[in-house]
């Protein structure tokens, strides 16, 4: 077994041993020693957005004559390497840590400082000549950096991953709505037969849900664009140059392609997570919609012979270890499970939003984790549902027609012609004698056959 080699690092609490190959320093090591709870880490794409802030902060601080050019260049280059994932193995902190995300912010500061010092001196050390607090964190606080990175990450993942996935799902559902527009089927309310509709009508409702999901996400974009950067510790901006935040945010906006701007009120932006709670609420709503669509589809495909069986799903995998030939709606079931997890995440984020005591919210890492996880779950499940299920659905036209012909609910079409009570009598007769509504109504000679078919089936 290889012997672990350490280097000694220092912070305000004194010396601590850090693995020699690590790029983090004493403050991160102390956090690692105390916050090993779940083994869940904040994702690398979130760390990359913190590094993006540090990268442009270095350039702006140099322009403001707060950091010399050599240190700023080294910080810039080190931050770029963090963004590229070069030091992912140095970001080991648990999600459940300091509620403001201070440990993660310091982790990024230390990794960037250590690499910057390595670039400048050839030696891997954390504090000199580039210091993680004095230089990498110059003009910043965990209290404005961490919530800024949350919003940057949420928006970019929504726009680049979730919105395309939902648009793709919408397109797949729209295609089926058009393809099935001519297929008459029986509608259902309260799980009981209702009036005649088309299979295309049914799928158009699902498509509209996906469209509205996109619109709901677009409605929160502006609030995610407002970054708390510049407020530092409590929102007053102490120790930050007045030009620091707007200049850094302008550079972030230019590189990312998103119109980020400085939050109008730093005290609101840093102390509460209302925007994140709102976004999570939209994600929950989308999850509810996906679960509803997936559930309907698996019910419509139930059977294949002893259920509803109006559609057929693509066969993905054997459905049973004991029943040969059984194929289950596994894609629908996976999407439903993802939706359930997102709904649970919403409960956690909602409670997290209540943690904004005075000038800081103490549940930010947990909020970030659940928010990002929900975006990824919905992006993946929407794509999976579209590609592996919706695209391969085939209508069972014979079954749809059979269900329409034998349904008692078609009697509703006779009401305008013979009245509610007379129509009820015909339905009762059909049910008691095992007849279709068409057969019972024909026997009662309520109207000419051509008019009867038109009233019952829209033919």
CB 17 within 8 A of CB 26: no
Query: Are 219 and 97 part of one and the same domain?
Result: no
Query: Are 294 and 153 part of one and the same domain?
Result: yes
Distance (Å, whole) CA 371 – CA 276: 8
Question: Is 402 within the bounds of a domain?
Answer: no
**Is 374 an active-site residue?**
no
Q: What is the CATH number of the domain that holds 420?
A: 1.10.40.30
User: For the chain, how are helix, strand and coil distributed in percent, rounded to 5?
Assistant: 60, 10, 30
Residue 40 phi, psi (nearest 5): -90, 130
What pLDDT was estimated at residue 1?
57
Q: What is the CATH number of the domain that holds 41?
A: 1.10.275.10
What pLDDT was estimated at residue 36?
87
Note down the domain range covering 126. 6-138
The domain boundary, picked from 99, 119, 138, lies at 138
Query: Are 167 and 264 part of one and the same domain?
Result: yes
Q: What is the CATH number of the domain that holds 376?
A: 1.20.200.10
The domain boundary, picked from 138, 161, 196, lies at 138
**Is 168 an active-site residue?**
no
Which residue of the set 38, 219, 320, 351 is catalytic? 320
Which residue of the set 190, 271, 302, 369 is catalytic? 190
Question: Is 1 within the bounds of a domain?
Answer: no
Query: Are 371 and 350 part of one and the same domain?
Result: yes
Query: Are 427 and 371 part of one and the same domain?
Result: no
Helices (H), ranges, 84-198 = 102-121, 142-157, 163-179
Question: Is 242 within the bounds of a domain?
Answer: yes
Query: Are 361 and 448 part of one and the same domain?
Result: no
Query: Are 378 and 232 part of one and the same domain?
Result: yes
Query: Are 115 and 153 part of one and the same domain?
Result: no
Give me 239's structure tokens.
């120790």
Give me 45's structure tokens.
């794409």
Total of domains in the chain: 3
Question: Is 337 within the bounds of a domain?
Answer: yes
**pLDDT tens over the chain, length 459 residues:** 568 899 999 988 999 999 999 999 999 999 999 988 999 999 999 999 999 999 999 999 999 999 999 999 999 999 999 999 999 999 999 999 999 999 999 999 999 999 999 999 999 999 999 999 999 999 999 999 999 999 999 999 999 999 999 999 999 999 999 999 999 999 999 999 999 999 999 999 999 999 999 999 999 999 999 999 999 999 999 999 999 999 999 999 999 999 999 999 999 999 999 999 999 999 999 999 999 999 999 999 999 899 999 999 999 888 788 888 888 999 999 999 999 999 999 999 999 999 999 999 999 999 999 999 999 999 999 999 999 999 999 999 999 999 999 999 899 999 999 999 999 999 999 999 999 998 899 998 888 989 988 998 887
Query: Are 233 and 200 part of one and the same domain?
Result: yes
């Amino acid at each position: 077994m290889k012997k672990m080699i350490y280097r000694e690092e220092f912070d305000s609490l004194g010396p601590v041993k850090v693995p020699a190959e690590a790029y983090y320093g004493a403050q991160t090591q102390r956090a690692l020693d105390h916050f090993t709870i779940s083994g869940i880490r904040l994702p690398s794409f979130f760390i990359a957005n913190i590094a993006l802030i540090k990268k442009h902060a270095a350039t702006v601080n140099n322009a403001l004559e707060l950091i010399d050019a050599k240190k700023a260049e080294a910080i810039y280059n080190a931050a770029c390497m963090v963004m590229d994932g070069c030091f992912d193995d140095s970001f080991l902190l648990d999600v459940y840590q300091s509620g403001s995300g201070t440990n993660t912010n310091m982790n990024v500061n230390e990794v960037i400082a250590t690499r910057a010092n390595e670039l400048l001196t050839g030696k891997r050390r954390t504090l000199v000549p580039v210091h993680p607090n004095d230089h990498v964190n110059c003009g910043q606080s965990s209290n404005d950096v961490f919530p800024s990175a949350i919003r940057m990450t949420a928006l970019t993942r929504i726009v680049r991953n979730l919105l395309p996935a939902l648009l793709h799902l919408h397109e797949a559902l729209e295609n089926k709505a058009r393809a099935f527009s001519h297929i008459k089927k029986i509608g259902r309310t309260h799980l009981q037969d209702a009036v005649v509709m088309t299979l295309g009508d049914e799928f158009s409702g699902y498509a509209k849900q996906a469209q509205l999901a996109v619109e709901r996400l677009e409605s929160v974009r502006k609030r995610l664009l407002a970054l708390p950067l510049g407020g530092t510790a409590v929102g007053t901006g102490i120790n930050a140059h007045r030009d620091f935040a707007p200049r850094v945010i302008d550079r972030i906006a230019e590189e990312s392609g998103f119109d980020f701007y400085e939050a109008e009120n730093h005290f609101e932006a840093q102390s509460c997570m209302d925007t994140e709670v709102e976004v999570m609420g939209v994600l929950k709503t989308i999850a509810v919609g996906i679960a509803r669509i997936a559930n309907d589809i698996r019910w419509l495909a139930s059977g294949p012979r002893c259920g509803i069986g109006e559609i057929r799903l693509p066969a993905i995998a054997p459905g049973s270890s004991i029943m040969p030939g059984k194929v289950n709606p596994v894609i629908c079931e996976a999407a439903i499970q993802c939706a359930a997890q997102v709904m649970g995440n919403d409960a956690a984020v909602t409670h997290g939003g209540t943690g904004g005591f005075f000038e800081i919210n103490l549940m930010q890492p947990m909020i970030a984790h659940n928010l990002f996880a929900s975006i990824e779950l919905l992006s993946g499940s929407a794509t999976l549902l579209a590609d592996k299920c919706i695209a391969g659905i085939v209508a069972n036209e014979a079954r749809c027609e059979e269900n329409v012909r034998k349904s008692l609910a078609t009697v509703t079409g006779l009401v305008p012609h013979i009245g509610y009570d007379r129509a009820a009598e015909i339905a009762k007769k059909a049910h008691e004698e095992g007849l279709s509504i068409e057969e019972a109504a024909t026997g009662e000679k309520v109207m000419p056959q051509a008019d009867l078919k038109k009233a019952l089936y829209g033919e």
